[in-house]
Structure formats: C-alpha cells, structure tokens
Amino acid sequence: MNRCFPEGFLWGSATASYQVEGGALQDGRGPSVWDTFSHTPGKIKLGHTGDVACDQYNRHAEDIALMKKLGLGAHRFSLSWSRIFPTGRGAVNQKGLDYYRRFIDGLREAGIDPWVTLFHWDLPQSLQDDFGGWQSRETVKYFADYCGFVASAFGDTVSNFMTINEFMCFTDWAYGAGEENYAPGGNLDRKGVNMVRHNALLAHGMGVQAIRAAAPSASVGLAENALVCVPVIETKPHIDAARKAYREMNAHFLTAIMEGKYLDCYLEEQGADAPEFTAEEMAVISSPVDFVGHNMYLAHHIEADPSSSSGYRVLPHSASYPHMHAHWIKVSPEITYWAPRFVHELWNVENIYITENGCACPDQLDDSGRICDTDRIFYLRNHLLSAARATSEGIPLKGYFCWSLLDNFEWADGYTYRFGIVHVDFETLVRTPKMSAEYLSLVASENKVL
C-alpha cells in the first residue's frame, strides 16, 4: 500500500472567521447573521456565541507561531465580510482590512501560504435586514463587489481564493422552513429555497469573475461539501452507480457549477418548484475554476440498482455503524479516494484539494495530562491512506487541509464539539496542541502517512 504523497503535496489547517475570531464588536466590525442568531435564545447549545470564540482577532500572532511550529505549509481561513464592510457594502472599515493584512503578512513571514475563503456563512446582518440576504440579487451583486475589493486588496500576496464554503449550510438549512440550526433561520418553501440556492450559485460565479478581474494571476476555486458517494462494494457496476449518484445528488450545487446546467433529474424532481434561470446565468455560474476544493466528513454508500429508474440506491447505516463524537460523522475513510476520483473523472478537474476533513473528539487526558486523541489520529490516518491511494493512481489531488487548527465555535453546537488538533481552553484561551497535532505535523514533514 502506498503511504507516500507526491512531492509538493500541500498540507494545511483550516478555520473560519466566525468560528475563531471573536472580537465581534472590535474596531468597527458590523454584525453578521450569526451574531444575531447566536444571541437569539434557544438557537445555540448552552447559549454559546462567537463573541469571543478563540479570540484569534487579538491572538493571531500566537496562532501563527503555533502553525509555524507545526510546519504545515498552508492555512485556509475565511474573511468576515462585515469586518471589512460593516453593512456588506459602501464604505470600507479600514481597521478590519488592516487586520487581515497583518494576518496574511504574518502567515507569509512564517512560510505559510494563505488560502482565503470569501464567505463561510457570516453574512452581514444589514444585507439580511435590507434585502432578505441570499433571497435577493442585491446580495449577490454586493458579494461580487466584495470579492473584487478583497482580490485587489490582497491579490499581491494571496494566490488562492475560494469564493464560498458549503452551499447547503447557508441556503437550504438557513432559509428553509423547519430548519432551525443555521442563521438567519428562515421559513421558505421549496421554491423559495431553490431560488436561494440559485442566487448562491450566481454569487459564486460572479465572485469568480470579480476575483479574476482584480487579481488575474490568482487561482480561484470554492470549498464545497458535495455529498460523497462511495460504492458499497468496489465492482464496476457499483462504482458506475456511485459516480452517477455523485453527479446527480449534487445536481443543485457542484454539478451545476461544473456543467453549467441543471440536470433534468433535478428539474423534474423539483417540478413547479424548480429554480427559474437563464442561459446567461448558467454561463456565469459555470465560470471556469482553477481548482475544486472539497470538504468531506462522511460517505453515502451506494449500490447499483438496475430495478430503479436512477440505477442506484443510497444505503442506510445501521445503528452500530461506527461514528465519531458528533454522530453525523459516520467513519468512511474511502471518501478521500472516491470524491477526488469522481471529480476528476466526471469533469476533468486537474487540481483538487481536500479543503476540510476532520472530526470532533472529547478530551481524553493520558496520565501525563496530555490530550491523547488517538481517536482523531485513527480518523486522520485512515482518511490519509485513502488520499494516498488517490494520488498513487494519478488522481490530481494536490493538498489536504485539516479541519480544524483550533477547537472553535461549532455553529449550533456551540463549543460542545471540539474539532481542533489544538485544544483551546475557552475560559483562559490557552492553546495546547493535542497528540493529533504532533501526528499531522510529522505526516506533513515526511509527506507520508505515519
């Protein structure tokens, strides 16, 4: 079994603004929908908020020093839109911009390549109040303006931009009726949600174009959590079924971006609720990207089913299927092989990155008092073995970002799930690397699964 990665394989950690920065009211930052949502009683476990989070806004120098020590070559993080434009548009907040300049310069000086996500769910509240957020084309237009502004501000030193992180989480789950876990918390019907999805895709496409115009030499992509379909048994019929399922089950996001069209199966399934769109919009949505960033945590196991019209069936997981501390993370390390393979086979993508992978683990101390997260090491090692399988077969998987550098604000779960390879004490804000940090650091330095 191959355990080595190709030379130049990129190793990184990942975070997102609202989850780590804190400094919610500092230096003129405007509120985002997540500030409002987290301050709404009953929305977040234990009433937690991101007001302070890891306080990275004030402790970035310490965090950069920590990353340097770990020796990971890249760090993926997102910008708080409302820190730069407090109302999402209009006058820039210079202090907010200066913060990111300091952060980016600090990473560069430490030899760490900054990978910038423009939007990781923290929509400026003002755009929600004034236009209904992602329900409106105004928000799409302001997002593109913001992308262009950021690319011209940082294009001299940032080479890799991601427009949007994970579409589902700020569209369906944020605006759909009956979904209560994601800001701003909406009650749209199917048709309304499909239009929000479509606006989000358009924002991505217009964002790509705006970044290219402002920073022509930068690479532009996205970080999408497409549903990962894995053949339940690795025979040709099941593999073909899983590839088809992957394309069709992601028809409303990644497939639309890669192919510039909504598949018939999606339009038929949605019927009268299908999104309204023009050919011109689909062309914008499918603006070419330089890389596909893929977040991945769990699999959908697929079997070929000649008796169904789709030709495949999504298999259920039994109660004893292994999972991590957060139960939704069903352990299926095959994902880091199959997702890159399908993205390459379906769309000829030549630059694929795993932009998130990781898991939450409860703290377990050993007798020396160290956090001994052998469960996370188990999770990472197995996912990395599958990733090495992909690269050894020539699948153009170019890098791996671990979610997350730090324990942080896990959205509706507050601070109850710890995804970091570095522990954060949320009383004292002291950072302590866990055993998995040592593991990933060694893997990166040897460029090999250990």
What are the residues binding ligand GBH (CB under 6 A)?
Answer: 16, 19, 165-166, 169, 225, 295, 328, 356, 403, 410, 419
Residue 2 CA to residue 22 CA, distance in Å, equals 41
Radius of gyration (C-alpha) of the chain in whole angstroms: 21
User: Which stretches of 132-253 are DSSP H helices?
Assistant: 137-154, 167-170, 172-175, 190-214, 236-249
166 as an active site residue: the answer is yes
* Residue 409: CB minimum distance to ligand GBH, A: 8
> Which tokens sit at 98?
């200066």
Residue 240 CA to residue 284 CA, distance in Å, equals 30
* Residue 404: CB minimum distance to ligand GBH, A: 7
The helix or strand, by DSSP H or E, that contains position 364, with its residue range, turns out to be: none
Q: Which position among 166, 248, 281, 334 bears the catalytic label?
A: 166
Closer to ligand GBH by CB, 19 or 128: give it: 19
Closer to ligand GBH by CB, 133 or 420: give it: 420
Residue 356 CB coordination number (10 Å): 23
356 as an active site residue: the answer is yes
Q: Which position among 21, 281, 334, 356 bears the catalytic label?
A: 356
* Residue 8: CB minimum distance to ligand GBH, A: 26
Residue 243 CA to residue 421 CA, distance in Å, equals 32
Closer to ligand GBH by CB, 165 or 391: give it: 165
Distance of CA 415 to the CA centre of its chain: 18
Closer to ligand GBH by CB, 83 or 212: give it: 83
What dihedral angle (degrees, nearest 10) is formed by the CA atoms of 329, 334, 242, 355?
Answer: 70
Q: Which of 424, 391, 372, 427 is nearest to 8 (CA)?
A: 391
Q: Are strands 160-165 and 219-224 parallel, antiparallel or unpaired?
A: parallel
* Residue 350: CB minimum distance to ligand GBH, A: 24
Residue 79 CA to residue 173 CA, distance in Å, equals 21
Closer to ligand GBH by CB, 118 or 241: give it: 118
Catalytic residues: 166, 356
